[in-house]
Structure 1
Amino acid sequence: MEIEQKQAQVIEHFVKQASTLQGSSLVSLIVQVTSHSSLFAFSEILAVPSVLELQGTDYAVYIDLLRNASLLPPLTPDQITKLKQLTVLSLAEINKVLSYDQLLEQLDLSNVRELEDFLINECMYAGIVKGKLDHLRRSFEVQFAAGRDLRPGQLGNIIQTLDDWLNTTDNVLLTIEEKIKWADKKCALNTIHQKQKAVKDKVEEVKKSLFNRGGRDFQALDDVLFGETAGLMDYEEDRTRTKRRRSPIY
């Protein structure tokens, strides 16, 4: 997605900067990181050695601001917006339909109008989520949500899910192969049947042709054999009748 491609470029930029800074000089950079409008994943930045050195110091609260709200110092408006955006992403990982009541509580907003404005302007326009607002049902239907950093222990669940998916796809492929073999066999049988039917139809056609042709030849032969004889018999009969009409000569 576009938001993830843009985020990768931002992460690369901040990682390079963090690698060249030490100690207190990282504070302003961390504030920029946690306030950036296009950044919603921080694991690569937190893994930079110079940033890891801040853990256990007064600056560690900036690194952990997304993990431990109780440790946070006063936040800037941009950081507060960032935390609310990340809260929406975290909720979208669990459910694809988020109720307004849940969102109002988690985002500490006072009314539905304020909530819908936040979802539209700070989430959907920012490209981190896509979905539909249902004012009547008081819910937000999530269609897409940008990914967040993996939480501890989450990687094992993802690996297990992928293993299950691979096993399922293997079973589906085996089923498809069996169906293909069955279809090939069925097609071969149909081809043989069609050829047999074509031969049978051809034989019937030849038989019919021979029968029709034989009938015409038989009729012609009948006319030749019996037509002339019948004419001769009629002629002889006429001569006999003529002779009988003559009076005897005395």
Structure 2
Amino acid sequence: MDIEQKQAELIDHFVNQASVQKGSALGSVIVEATSHPSLFAFSEILAVSTVAELEGTENSVYLEVLQLFAHGTWSDYKSNSVSLPQLVPDQVLKLKQLTVLTLAETKKVLPYDQLMLELDVTNVRELEDFLINECMYVGIVRGKLDQLRRCFEVQFAAGRDLRPGQLGSMIQTLSKWLGTSDNLLISIQEKIKWADMMSELDKKHQKEVEDRVEDVKKSLSLKADVDFRGLEEIYSEPSGVMDYEEDRSRPKRRRHPMA
């Protein structure tokens, strides 16, 4: 089962659980959802009416915890730990995993120093073990650990829940990307058209050259044939016999005696 399908099944499960609970009873459902090792999206649970009704009540802290896991980071929890309940170890691990995803949204090269600060990790070995065992093996990120440059190069990162107001920004970004893609496509089509035209011109030029070469060959062949026939006629004429016969038919001149 791939991670997307498993996520969808877990979301459906917890949405159904949250729909039949109210008030403080939702606390256990939220703790279980935010502790589950395979669940990293919570917006659907936030949208459940019984969960939304926690706002402004004595049990609103459970809603705040769920909002933290949907949009926040480990640093956000530390900044508000006084007003939030203490997290269980599985929740701490989950929130740190989600923190890596948040950092990967804006940067594709994450310095070790930044990661150690955000995750409360004290040394490089511990950080690399966390990235390998708790992030890459789980399938939420893929990347390369660069010990020489002390950074993590992100190749893939799973998306998190959209923050309030983030949808409009994302639509604007996608619209801009779409416009850029359309312009790029037009440019590529024009280059293809130009290349096709140049190819046709090259073929036409090549054909003209080949025709001229063929004409020259024919001309040279014809000239060589004419020259050869001329030489053949010259060498085949019986000029020696003709001269001798003509010489015999002429009257001989008498020689006058010398005085």
Contact 1:132/1:140 (8 A) holds in 2: yes
Tell me the amino acid that sits aligned with residue 223 of structure 2.
Answer: F
* Mapped partners of 1:216, 1:113: distance in 2: 92
For the residue of structure 2 that corresponds to 1:142, the secondary structure is strand
The one-letter code of the counterpart of 2:111 is S
RMSD: 2.5
Q: 2:154 aligned with 1:146, yes or no?
A: no
In the other structure, the counterpart of 1:248 is none
**Which letter does structure 1 place at the counterpart of 2:33?**
V
Q: How many residues are paired up?
A: 238
Match of residue 32 from structure 1: 32
Report 1:38-49 matches (<5 A): 38-49=38-49
Which amino acid in the other structure matches residue 233 of structure 1?
Answer: D
The one of 185, 188, 197 aligned to 1:176: 188
Contact 1:18–1:26 (Cα < 8 Å) also in 2: yes
Query: Quick one: percent identity of the two aligned structures?
Result: 58
Rounded to whole Å, the distance in 2 between the matches of 1:181 and 1:106 is 52
Give me the TM-score of the superposition, normalised by structure 1: 0.83
Residues 151-230 of structure 1: pairs in structure 2 closer than 5 A: 151-224=163-236, 227-230=237-240
Separation of aligned partners in 2, 1:77 and 1:58? 25
CA contact under 8 A between 1:3 and 1:146: conserved in structure 2? no
- The residue identity in structure 1 corresponding to 2:205 is H
- CA distance in structure 2 between the aligned counterparts of 1:110 and 1:40, rounded to whole angstroms: 25
Please give the alpha-carbon distance, in whole angstroms, between the structure 2 residues aligned to 1:184 and 1:139. Answer: 46
Unaligned runs of 5+ in 1: 244-250
Q: How does 1:17-96 map to 2 (within 5 A)?
A: 17-65=17-65, 66=68, 67=72, 69=77, 70=80, 71-96=83-108
Contact 2:26 2:62 in 1 (8 A): no
Among candidates 130, 145, 150, match of residue 133 of structure 1: 145
How far apart are residue 236 of structure 1 and its match? 7.1
Deviation, structure 1 residue 42 = 0.7
Partner of 1:114: 126
Opposite residue 238 of structure 2, the aligned amino acid is E
How do 1:92-103 residues align onto structure 2 when only pairs under 5 Å count? 92-103=104-115
Q: CA deviation at 1:234?
A: 5.0
- Compute the displacement of 1:34 (Å): 0.5
Equivalent AA in structure 2 for residue 61 of structure 1: V
Which one-letter code corresponds to 2:45 in the other structure? I
Listed as ranges, the gaps of 5+ residues in structure 2 are 253-259
Q: From 202, 220, 241, give the equivalent of 1:231.
A: 241
CA distance in 2, matches of 1:135, 1:185: 51
Offset, 1:228: 0.9
Cα offsets for 1:164-218 (capped at 9, x unmatched) = 1111112112212222332232233223323322322222222122112212221
Moved more, 191-200 or 82-91: 191-200
Letter in 2 for 1:215: D
Alpha carbons of 1:141 and 1:19: their partners in 2 closer, same or farther (altered >3 Å)?
same
Runs of 4+ in 1 over 4 A off after TM superposition: 234-237
- Alpha carbons 1:61, 1:72 under 8 Å: kept: yes
